[in-house]
Structure 1
Amino acid sequence: MQIRKPNPGDRPEWDRLYAGYATFYKVDQTPEMRDRVWGWLHDPAHESEGLVAEEGDRLVALAHFRPFARPLTATTGGFLDDLFVDPETRGTGAADAMLASLEEIAISRGWTVIRWITAENNYRARAVYDRKAARTGWITYDLVPGR
């Protein structure tokens, strides 16, 4: 399994994976939304970056991440926005490989933490996360502007 940045030829497979991720979380996602995110991943001026896991001639996982400032500690961390493994490939180590690659990136950039959130009922992914990271005691809130 090779972990690498997505390239332009990956678009159809990336679309398939990202649509699967949106379906898993029951998020209505349009092709225009995927166009925007794909653009971010290939825009050096945008903070979002991506990784894909390739096995043979097929993409089996994707991850999107970005740096974030940690003012209280005067450091920078990395935030893992999305991690999705094709259901047919789960259990093959793709998630572990993606997290290991992201950890290498974090070390090379001097990030002090990699942080992410997941759904409470995402039990399969949480089994991986519980092996790889410490669950925090923080509660997350969303304030929707204008609502």
Structure 2
Amino acid sequence: MSAIQPTLVIRPAEPVDALTWRELYRQYGEFYQTSLDEDVLDRVWNWLLDAGHPLNAILAIAPDNTMVGLAHYRAFSETLLGRDAGFLDDLFVSPAQRDKGVGRALINGVAKIAKARGWPFVRWITAEDNAPARRLYDDVGAKTHWVTYELNLAD
């Protein structure tokens, strides 16, 4: 992995980011073979800008002002500790910017926010076959022994 670009900026999402965020988030959906329609994109973007909604976003902005990555995160109630912890819902880096430290910078950005909020940890999941992401995750975090299940309630 090459060193992170020294002028990469990690910052919260702002209203001006709407169009570029939509394109990057569409690519994230495509990666997971999910087509994101305009209603979903509108809803998630509105969540990210709503200070009353738990979902937040930080973005990676390259020196040329191009958005090259995103991370969506939120607090969740960790009942065994009786306190909030962090959950990283989505992490995506533009394919052309992978292996340049962008994903690591976004995770570090979420970790910095988590520390400021007093969260004891940040947790996330990924697809078992997402080997490139798992290499990064194995380096920055610890794989847990938890197995994830999902009960599909759609008709």
> Does residue 2 of structure 2 align to residue 18 of structure 1?
no
Q: What whole-Å deviation, never above 9, does each CA across 1:76-109 have from its counterpart, x for those lacking one?
A: 1100000000000001110010011111101100
Give the structure 1 partner of residue 98 of structure 2.
Answer: 90
Distance 1:146 1:53, change over 3 A: closer
Identity %: 41
TM-score, normalised to structure 2, is 0.92
**Root-mean-square deviation (CA), in Å?**
1.0
The higher relative CO (CA closer than 8 Å, separation ≥ 6) is in 2
Q: CA deviation at 1:145?
A: 3.0
Q: Does 1:36 align with 2:43?
A: yes
Query: How far does the alpha carbon of each residue in 1:33-91 deviate from its partner, in whole angstroms, 9 at most, with x for none?
Result: 01000000000110000010000210000010100001111121100000000000001
Question: Which residues in structure 2 correspond to 1:43-62 (within 5 Å)?
Answer: 43-55=50-62, 56-62=64-70
Deviation at 1:30, TM superposition (A): 0.4
Q: Which runs of 5+ in 1 are unaligned?
A: none
Alignment of 1:137 with 2:145, yes or no, is yes
- The offset of 1:146, in angstroms, is 6.1
Q: Return the alpha-carbon distance in structure 2 between the equivalents of residues 70 and 111 of structure 1.
A: 10
Equivalences, count: 147
| Large movers: runs of 4+ above 3 Å | none
Which sits farther off after the overlay, 109-118 or 137-146? 137-146
CA distance in 2, matches of 1:19, 1:143: 25
Aligned partner of residue 23 in structure 1, secondary structure: helix
Structure 2: distance between partners of 1:15 and 1:71: 34
> What is the TM-score normalised by the length of structure 1?
0.97
2:108 is aligned, of 63, 85, 100, to 100
d(CA) in 2 for partners of 1:107 and 1:136? Answer: 20
Structure 2 unaligned segments of length 5 or more: list them: 1-7
